[in-house]
Amino acid sequence: MGEKQENKNQIITKERIIPAVIGLVIGIILTCLVGFFMDYFAKSTGIAKLKYGDEAIASIAGKSISTETIYNRAKLSNGLNYLINEVDKIIFNDMYQLTEKEIEQAKEQADYYIQSYESMGYTQEIFFSNYGFADYDDFLEDIKLTLLTNKYIYNFLEGKLEEGAVEKYYNENKDTIETYDSEHILVRTSDTVTDEQALALANEIIGKLNEGKTFNDIVEEYGDRIVHEELGYQGKTASLEQPYIDELVALEDGAYSQTPVKTSYGYHIVHRLATATFEDLKNSIIETLSQELLEADTNLTDKALVELRDEKKLNILDEDLKNAYENYKNTLYEVQVQE
């Protein structure tokens, strides 16, 4: 990975992944199905004729392997996950629309996953192949499905809370839970850059910002002499060094440091971009207030999704997949015996 990604892990000690839904939803269903699965599924449901029939898909040692054999194995091992993924796409695309901001979030998360995979020495093509995606757009659609599903889950959980509970919590805890979007420029100290030199360079950069240059201008001008990072929304309890958090909280939206902020990495110029709104924080508040419900029934959100599919009159025509889904539903509602 480039220096920017490498340096992010030096400032943030825990991963930052944009949609964090506390494991409430099915998330991204990373199935590894053969590319022709949908053709076969059509036949099993009686919707259309099998594309390849019992034609051989491969042969070895004079023996053939039929497409029907591969289809049946794929259906039993991954078919239910794939089917429910497609069912939920139809349901949630009909119920909700993503905002432009949420679409950008989906793209950022898709890029984050891909970059993480590439950091291990793999290509995008290998990532898509390993997890059963045709291309970037196909992968992005699964990310979007997660965001759409989250909308329903949070609405469902909010409906279980006392009316007005979310707004009340926000008003009473705003100072504690507020988060801020920021970027920063870091001038490192090192064996070749003394503390005095780093401080002088940081002050020089602040002077140029005061003259009207932007952070992007500074990045272009100073190149690898500095590190530039966008940290996203962080709060008072973020895994950042305290001097950075203190400066972030003290700044106004749109303002940047007038005095370099020293941490163990060197000197920072912090730029606070925006403060999270109630709408930005609403889901995390719902998540916090719902913990007791979720602990009382660990299958609560899975049940909510099952009941929604029932409400939308899901009808699985393939007997094997129908039985698998019914078994799954039964496990959700089984009474857990306390030992």
* Residue 24 token pair: 């409430």
271-288 burial: b if 16+ Cβ within 10 Å, else e: bbbeebeeeebbbbbbbe
pLDDT band at 50, cuts 50/70/90? very low
Q: Confidence class of residue 54 from pLDDT cuts 50, 70 and 90?
A: low
CA angle in degrees (0–180, nearest 5) for 335-337-339: 165
Using the predicted structure, report yes or no on whether residue 32 has a pLDDT greater than 90: no
Pairwise pLDDT comparison (152 vs 336), residue with the higher score: 152
Lookup: tokens for 163: 């009316």
Q: Residue ranges per domain, the chain?
A: 19-160+297-333, 179-275
| Residue 26 pLDDT level (bands cut at 50, 70, 90) | very low
Spatial CA neighbour of 131 closest among 90, 86, 78? 78
Q: In this predicted structure, what is the pLDDT of residue 177?
A: 93
What is the reported pLDDT for 130? Answer: 87
**pTM over cut 0.85:** no
CB 112 within 8 A of CB 140: no
Task: Give how far Cα 155 sits from Cα of 95, 103, 309, Å.
Answer: 12, 19, 16
Each residue's pLDDT tens digit, 206-244: 999 999 999 999 999 999 999 999 998 999 989 899 999
> Residue 322: is its pLDDT beyond 90?
yes
18 or 185: whose pLDDT is higher?
185
CB-facing half-sphere around the CA of 338: CA atoms within 13 A: 1
- 140-172 pLDDT, tens digit per residue, is 999 999 999 999 999 999 999 999 999 999 999
* Rounded average pLDDT over 173-177: 92
Model confidence at 288: pLDDT above 60: yes
Q: Report the chain's mean pLDDT, rounded to a whole number.
A: 83
So what's the pLDDT on residue 68? Answer: 84
Cα–Cα distance for residue pair 99/95, rounded to 1 Å: 13
* Position 62 pLDDT exceeds 80: yes
The percentage of residues in the chain with a pLDDT greater than 70, rounded to a whole number, is 83
Q: Which of 92, 64, 220 is nearest to 156 (CA)?
A: 92
| Closest to 84 in 3D by CA, of 299, 294, 308, 300 | 308
Is the domain covering 179-275 a CATH 3.10.50.40 domain? yes
The percent of residues in the chain predicted with pLDDT above 90, rounded, is 67
SS3 string, the chain, reads: CCHHHHHHHHHCCCCCCCCCCCCCCCCCCCCCCCCCHHHHHHHHCCCCCCCCCCCEEEEECCEEEEHHHHHHHHHHHHHHHHHHHHHHHHHHHHHCCCCHHHHHHHHHHHHHHHHHHHCCCCCHHHHHHHCCCCCHHHHHHHHHHHHHHHHHHHHHHHHHCCCCHHHHHHHHHHHHHCEEEEEEEEEECCCCCCHHHHHHHHHHHHHHHHCCCCHHHHHHHHHHHCEEEEEEEEECCCCCCHHHHHHHHHCCCCCECCCCEEECCEEEEEEEEEECCHHHHHHHHHHHHCHHHHHHCCCHHHHHHHHHHHHCCCCCCCHHHHHHHHHHHHHHHCCCCCC
pLDDT at 37 over 50: no
- pLDDT for residue 71: 81
What is the pLDDT confidence band of residue 69, given thresholds at 50, 70 and 90? confident
Residue 306: pLDDT over 80: yes
Residue 338 pLDDT exceeds 50: no
Q: Tell me what the mean pLDDT of segment 194-198 comes to.
A: 95
pLDDT at residue 38, rounded to an integer: 39
